[in-house]
Structure 1
């Protein structure tokens, strides 16, 4: 055979053999036969050592069969051949994490994300490590987050383009009068602004430069939590979206406005880009499709921002405004205290209601417990309060008084939620909505509300059953209940499921888009709202905005929401409810008279007015009231303070949450037994400014679950006691506190442990906390208070500390 032909033949055979080995390697890999796969990949690489992708596959096989050294060599060889391959860096990161080199793993993940910001797995790993407290270069990480956000953006939708369109010229020109600037230049801009976006941009820049140094920071933490499980906003979520969106799109020149969210996993606030907030808000109102790609992309971008963003640095003296709720965030007030200490912020919660305290029978036990924990802390942290009705204001003041606080009337401002819910334009025709839900125009009664016990769906069902007994079924209008499931609703659905007659006249609807909901209001006969307790009652205002008669109970704030335009019945009076219901359903002339009354007299406010009222009130508070310093609390001498999460389901005079003694950022959130410190230690601060003489302090420590640890308890930074804790063991440490240690009026007790535990390892990532020594509780008393010391040591001996803590709570 000719030598050339012989060479080609050998080459062909080699190619066939390499192809066979490649198939063998891939097949073994797919059936997870890692040893066979590794051997086959090595044979292929002997002939094709330049194949970076095959070196990665060899690395996988070696890693999976436990040969971490071989895996590292293979990955590194791939990286030498192709230094810019993000996937190879990702795989090395996985290997280093598996080997326990978490910091190195983070560095490789960061490099991978820098090379390819769209590499989702690298971002997920960075988020996971960040939540576990691994230090990652924040500057580089911030650039990665921005690049990932850009890479994730889909083609701009029509709705997005409309939201981002240039600000209306009239609105821009109206700001000129508010700017104290060069009038001649402003006149030039007035003429030039109509010529193009460049002049608009210049005017915007001038507006920014003229803003007062007053910073409003809106905390949307609960809105972020809501978006993880739902999309269409209801109640409190709608208030936040509308008010904050309005202030961002029509800025008040006196204020700089930011949006932030508290990360419970990372224990700090993170800024949310305003354009992202506006995009999410627009998407949330458009429909309820949780799987829509555009929605998922925006939600993922938000999650990345919160999990990887830098801790938010408040401007000095900023106003932190929470239009939603924070009672479910166990470490929230700890960080409010820290922000007050570091930045001098003012904290202003918007109290929508006091339902879990005023009507706990309509709430789940955990919800009531968390809300009471919030109530025990809010009055010592809030500088001012917003609330939505005079009824809510009365309840807020009543709860404060029960807990031993006095609120000045000028500390609480009522922002009525009488906003205009009507859409300027509705693209969806009414017939399309009615066809979708099987309804006819004017042929149904509407009940918009979350499905939960306090909304009184059961009374509404009872009324409809009575209507069916007293009138021909064809004359009874169907009841359409629009709302998602809330708390304690099993009996509602059980009654509906068990009664075919009721089901024939009641339709339950959820996840209704804004446009469909607007059409359901426009086409209904009238609305009902028989709730037993409300903070305001947004569906009432919504009904009146669309000119529809509304039948309400007279409970709590509903007379304020309905005013002279709604019909009312006494709560619990089923006969009065039936009378008013039949009149609205069957007396069309009366119903029309109520509609005319609404059309001619009801004047809802634009949502932007609510935002302006909030900013105006802050402007009034600004500079007119002395800042309220954060005063460290005074412990009850002689009483046991259990550092656990609150379990009380009712309030009592003098109740204080023990968590208020924690200072700094070295604490994990309270658990059912007590609270863990973070690596680096935690500090308790006691106000002892009117105490004299030596004190006796007992501190209860809990060891880690995975390893032994040393501990140090210090007074004002000076070690007072040291020792060791075995795994899972408890140790109570008695110490004498000499008067000189609290001569300044305060005592700072530090608790530090030498070891740490990563809960993500033992919980499979469910709990991402990294913790050190735990604090069960403490008791401090005068050294000569032998009665308290004996009572406490007896409780320790007989394991009766829970009863001792309960006695303190009840002031026994």
Structure 2
């Protein structure tokens, strides 16, 4: 009987079965049971390092990161050539607030898998803990290169951001794509031309593959659906910074942004880091100053971002490119209070009409509107308050009432709805007469747009302010009259033959529209006077002007700017509508990687060593005094500070209580480049916000003055008391 009992006793589960059960419990997030099952498995297979990693995961999910770390480290001992255990250890150490150890663990993981894009990204996020702390006196910046650049690097960061979300370019994107497409295809292009992007989260400039970029330009011009597999594959191959090498920028390069970098995170801090290692010139294209000239037609965030970018441009740009004399004038007017104005070069925009008429007509015929035999007027612009579609819609309604619906052609509006388009769209929706006579289409390719220009009666373009007005040039280049308001850059875009109406004058707009619709002879006479050759410029023409401006700079680079002495510099981003010197310098003085973004009250430092760089126009050895206004993080923080001027001063220690406001005075002798301050925040403390930031001290204000400037010292004392 005993033998029978032993024969029917169930076999113990195999290690594979135990592991399968543990994995199922893990997938069901039954962490305690999964832990027990993984321990049973390891009792049989103690050297299976992947299961030690899984056991670490179960402990982490149960709120025990310290024990999880021990399991990850044990797995690393068992598998010293695999990066995963050290990667997991690095994540846990970071969450434990042990940033220095985390950075070391992640660097070890990357050393084991140097081609892993994901690991490169993670390690780059921790570079503020792996880079050596700055040391030595505060030196003057290297002089900017002069003469012909040895390399041209075109920054396409904002264009790639746009193409990630949209296929059909508008406005500034069309300008960038036109100029760069022509430049890259030109047999006369300089030998060393590269495309680069900036990744703000990792402060890294990366090399954009030219072949992938040109393919995307071709597909974008052809138009089509954004979910088209060919488009999606082309975009995926292009916008992958972590999979691409660092940008091969060399000393003597000119870096040029043809777009708008005002929305790119940490852009100028990234530029300063690049310049510190590689002397270069920086040139930016200013397309318009609309957020400063007419902030009421922009998002509040757009105004704030643009003002901060424009202010910082005054301290970073060696030159400016602009699309019109009007934009050059706007730039000079808003930049004058900020200091010396960078020299500006004029690049008139292109309005090429080289598409095959037959192909363009076929592409336009595929659009939902207009019908093949229908008369229409064309309005090409994003539907937003600045373009004032509302006024044109009201004018169309007045024409219907005056002339009768049968005598008023369809208005085709090409553009997607944008900021504050509600009023115009509400009028369109609420009026049956307008719904029968106005069509809004978006996602129109360049080819189809050329077909619409070829078929329309004329075009209308209404706007409160423009840097140029590309649709006006395109209309005239196609031989079609453009009716536009007489202001800003539209006066230059429309110079080859546009018909102007008084800005904002509804009766004048209606009268001129009525004339163009009812007096064919007069319309054809005005059309015959269009200087099509003057309006038509191929993109290669604009590209040649860009190259000429970049390769033959008109003036030598300006001397590096100096921080105004003796005045309080607020470090917060208070959302002023106009750029200011304080706004520019609050961006400029933050050096290195150990800073978070600016907030209304000031800016948090990160864990590790944050640096302030305060260039001063003072003889070396001049006694200087620096006042820092500090704010304590949510937990007590031991902070070390030191000044570096002519020499490196000794570290000082202060303790910040949670939320405490503290003013700290440092003294040093000016170095060749002024004064630098290092602030060592150690491992920092959790801020407890939704971004899970680790922070050091906060900085609300800075003041640098000569030690003998008693008025500035008294002012700082009064601030401390009041």
Smaller-chain TM-score range?
A: 0.7 to 0.9
Secondary structure of 2:675's counterpart equals strand
Shift of 1:301: 4.2
Shift of 1:689: 2.4
User: TM-score, normalization: structure 2?
Assistant: 0.82
**Residue among 499, 509, 516 paired with 2:448:** 516
* Cα distance change, pair 393–67 in 1 and its aligned pair in 2 (3 A): closer
- The match for 1:680 is 609
**Residue among 776, 788, 791 paired with 2:700:** 776
- The match for 1:361 is 296
CA separation in 1, counterparts of 2:705 and 2:55?
66
1:537-552 counterparts in 2 under 5 A? Answer: 537-552=469-484
CA separation in 2, counterparts of 1:758 and 1:283?
48
Contact persistence 2:104–2:130 (CA under 8 A): no
Shift of 1:460: 0.6
1:304-319 counterparts in 2 under 5 A? Answer: 304-305=240-241, 307=242, 312=247, 314-319=249-254
1:220-279 Cα distance to aligned partner (Å, 9 max, x none):
222133234333211111111221222222253545111112222223422222223223
1:718 aligns with 2:718: no
CA separation in 2, counterparts of 1:753 and 1:49?
42
**Residue among 29, 33, 40 paired with 1:32:** 29
- The match for 1:527 is 459
Secondary structure of 1:657's counterpart equals helix
Contact persistence 2:573–2:583 (CA under 8 A): no
Contact persistence 2:643–2:667 (CA under 8 A): no
CA separation in 2, counterparts of 1:320 and 1:385?
12
1:106 aligns with 2:36: no
User: TM-score, normalization: structure 1?
Assistant: 0.74
1:634-664 Cα distance to aligned partner (Å, 9 max, x none):
4242x21112225321357998634334455
Secondary structure of 1:418's counterpart equals coil
CA separation in 2, counterparts of 1:77 and 1:686?
49
CA separation in 1, counterparts of 2:58 and 2:678?
46
- The match for 1:795 is 719
**Residue among 470, 476, 500 paired with 1:568:** 500
1:583-622 counterparts in 2 under 5 A? Answer: 583-598=515-530, 601=533, 604-621=536-553
Larger mean Cα displacement after TM superposition, 265-274 or 692-701 = 692-701
> What 5-or-longer segments of structure 2 have no aligned partner?
1-5, 95-100, 132-147
- The match for 1:375 is 310
- The match for 2:215 is 279
Secondary structure of 2:674's counterpart equals strand
Normalized per residue, which structure has more helix?
1
Shift of 1:415: 0.9
Secondary structure of 1:565's counterpart equals coil
CA separation in 2, counterparts of 1:26 and 1:333?
47
1:97 aligns with 2:97: no
1:130 aligns with 2:124: yes
Contact persistence 2:363–2:447 (CA under 8 A): no
Larger mean Cα displacement after TM superposition, 426-435 or 787-796 = 426-435
Shift of 1:529: 0.3
1:446 aligns with 2:370: no
Secondary structure of 2:676's counterpart equals strand
Shift of 1:417: 0.4
CA separation in 1, counterparts of 2:590 and 2:214?
36
CA separation in 1, counterparts of 2:682 and 2:51?
41
* Cα distance change, pair 344–252 in 1 and its aligned pair in 2 (3 A): farther
Secondary structure of 2:639's counterpart equals strand
CA separation in 1, counterparts of 2:74 and 2:359?
57
1:337-367 Cα distance to aligned partner (Å, 9 max, x none):
4545543312211111111222222223332
1:215 aligns with 2:151: yes
**Residue among 562, 576, 582 paired with 1:648:** 576
Shift of 1:628: 3.1
CA separation in 2, counterparts of 1:753 and 1:796?
24
* Cα distance change, pair 392–429 in 1 and its aligned pair in 2 (3 A): closer
Shift of 1:613: 1.4
Contact persistence 1:55–1:75 (CA under 8 A): no
CA separation in 1, counterparts of 2:209 and 2:509?
48
1:156-205 Cα distance to aligned partner (Å, 9 max, x none):
xxxxxxxxxxxxxxxxxxxxxxxxxxxxxxxxxxxxxxxxxxxxxxxxxx
* Cα distance change, pair 275–467 in 1 and its aligned pair in 2 (3 A): same
1:466 aligns with 2:398: yes
**Residue among 587, 606, 609 paired with 1:659:** 587
CA separation in 2, counterparts of 1:705 and 1:59?
30
Secondary structure of 1:398's counterpart equals helix
CA separation in 1, counterparts of 2:448 and 2:469?
20
1:743-754 counterparts in 2 under 5 A? Answer: 746-754=673-681
Shift of 1:547: 3.0
1:580-612 Cα distance to aligned partner (Å, 9 max, x none):
212223333444444444486556222122111
- The match for 1:629 is 559
* Cα distance change, pair 770–291 in 1 and its aligned pair in 2 (3 A): farther
Secondary structure of 2:615's counterpart equals strand
- The match for 1:152 is none
1:470-489 counterparts in 2 under 5 A? Answer: 470-489=402-421
Contact persistence 2:477–2:533 (CA under 8 A): no
- The match for 2:633 is 704
Contact persistence 1:63–1:95 (CA under 8 A): no
- The match for 2:162 is 226
Secondary structure of 2:154's counterpart equals strand
**Residue among 195, 199, 210 paired with 1:259:** 195
- The match for 1:436 is 368
Secondary structure of 1:375's counterpart equals helix
CA separation in 2, counterparts of 1:312 and 1:524?
45
CA separation in 2, counterparts of 1:131 and 1:77?
24
Shift of 1:79: 11
Shift of 1:752: 1.3
Contact persistence 2:634–2:685 (CA under 8 A): no
Secondary structure of 1:436's counterpart equals coil
Secondary structure of 2:283's counterpart equals strand
> What 5-or-longer segments of structure 1 have no aligned partner?
1-6, 138-211, 799-812
CA separation in 1, counterparts of 2:633 and 2:278?
34
Contact persistence 2:200–2:270 (CA under 8 A): no
CA separation in 2, counterparts of 1:108 and 1:435?
56
Contact persistence 1:337–1:630 (CA under 8 A): no
CA separation in 2, counterparts of 1:254 and 1:493?
48
